[in-house]
Amino acid sequence: MAKIQTLTAKKAGSSWATSEEARGYILEAIDATSIDTYDYLNNWLPITPCVSASLDNETQLYTEVRIWYDDEYTSYKNNISSIDSDLQNELIADGWEITNETITVPDHVVVSFRGAQE
């Protein structure tokens, strides 16, 4: 089985014009936490299989959809498990609204979305 992970982030007072700008601010916020996020930002985040990123300009809600093969998702979660909760808690304390939802889907969904990219 595979996983579809949908992450959303929103920061009160933001006025981002593009999803790229919003993502840049999110990465800066992650880097500014007291947690050692070097491994996450430099080794894990660049290889996450993001299939779409969007910004609702009116609500300033950034949404990122990632589609994983099960072994990739398990490896990713295992490698960020030591920072995941603390990182989310620090971002929330800094005024971020964050959701992270994951559903299980058949493997062919990954092939359909990522097949052309692999």
CA dihedral 86, 89, 95, 99 (to 10 degrees): 110
The CATH number of whichever domain residue 26 belongs to comes to 3.30.70
> Is residue 118 in a domain?
no
d(CA 110, CA 86): 30
SS3 63: strand
Residue partners of 61: CB distance under 8 A and separation at least 6: 8, 9, 10, 55
User: According to the model, what pLDDT value does residue 40 have?
Assistant: 79
Q: Is the pLDDT of residue 89 over 90?
A: yes
Specify the number of domains making up the chain.
1
The residue assigned the tokens 């089985």 is: 1
12-58 per-position pLDDT tens digit = 999 999 999 999 999 999 999 998 888 777 777 777 888 899 999 99
d(CA 107, CA 84): 26
User: According to the model, what pLDDT value does residue 29 have?
Assistant: 95
> Is residue 105 in a domain?
yes
d(CA 118, CA 116): 6
Q: Is the pLDDT of residue 117 over 60?
A: no
Domain residues for the domain of 84 are 2-113
User: According to the model, what pLDDT value does residue 115 have?
Assistant: 61
**Which tokens sit at 110?**
């990954």
> Is residue 7 in a domain?
yes
User: According to the model, what pLDDT value does residue 20 have?
Assistant: 95
User: According to the model, what pLDDT value does residue 114 have?
Assistant: 67
Give the DSSP H/E element, type plus range, for residue 108: helix 107-114
54-72 per-position pLDDT tens digit = 999 999 999 999 999 899 8
